[in-house]
Amino acid sequence: MTMKKTVPFVTFRTRVRDASLPGPNPYYWKDNTSDDYFSGKRVVLFSLPGAFTPTCTNQQLPEFESLHGEFRKQGIDEIYCLSVNDAFVMNAWGRSVGLQNVKLIPDGSGEFTRKMGMLVAKHNLGFGMRSWRYAAVIDNGEVEQWFEEEGFSDNCQTDPYGISSPQNILKTLKASAAA
């Protein structure tokens, strides 16, 4: 679906690995803003309920990772995965799945997710407030295409996944390019 929306401006607290730092935790804090991620480039952003959860870890994240080259062919500069998890969790998750191409964005406070209108309660799963599963093609900070899973609601009893899949987004991008 086409949508006219600008991504909200927020500051994300990230942790960046620096091998020159001593000790078992060679990371430093770095603030990145929405502009750092979205200005001057065309990206796919996908957001999901949580790092280390089954669908997110076994399907969605690895499928985006494996199709990175196909997205590049469609004019996508970066693929970002956002979750309402802190930087420590997101970094550990990225290492655990061996990410090379998809970049993780920690929305620890949920501010970006809330401002996107995608924050939902997942108390029924013991998660608290999390992101609804969605994706977007964003060009220079403007949402070009929107892919939201059906059933948006607090404490949803299901975990829909399909509309925001990389296969569906690629199909849409290819159809738009052919039109």
User: Do 125 and 119 contact (CB within 8 A), yes or no?
Assistant: no
Of these residues, 7, 56, 81, 173, which one is catalytic? 56
Backbone angles phi, psi at 59, to 5 degrees: -125, -70
Using the structure block, give the residue that is written with the tokens 């080259």: 69
Q: Residue 18 has what pLDDT?
A: 94
Question: How is 75-107 classified by DSSP, letter by letter?
Answer: T--EEEEEESS-HHHHHHHHHHHT-SS-EEEE-
Distance from C-alpha of 169 to C-alpha of 147, rounded to nearest angstrom: 8
DSSP state of 21: S
Predicted TM-score of the model (pTM): 0.95
Q: Residue 144 has what pLDDT?
A: 96
The pair of structure tokens assigned to 156 is 């949803």
Q: Residue 66 has what pLDDT?
A: 97
Is 56 considered catalytic here? yes
For the chain, the 3-state helix, strand and coil shares in percent, each to the nearest 5, are 30, 30, 40
Per-residue pLDDT of the chain (179 residues; tens, 9 = 90+): 556 799 999 999 999 999 999 998 899 999 999 999 999 999 999 999 999 999 999 999 999 999 999 999 999 999 999 999 999 999 999 999 999 999 999 999 999 999 999 999 999 999 999 999 999 999 999 999 999 999 999 999 999 999 999 999 999 999 999 88
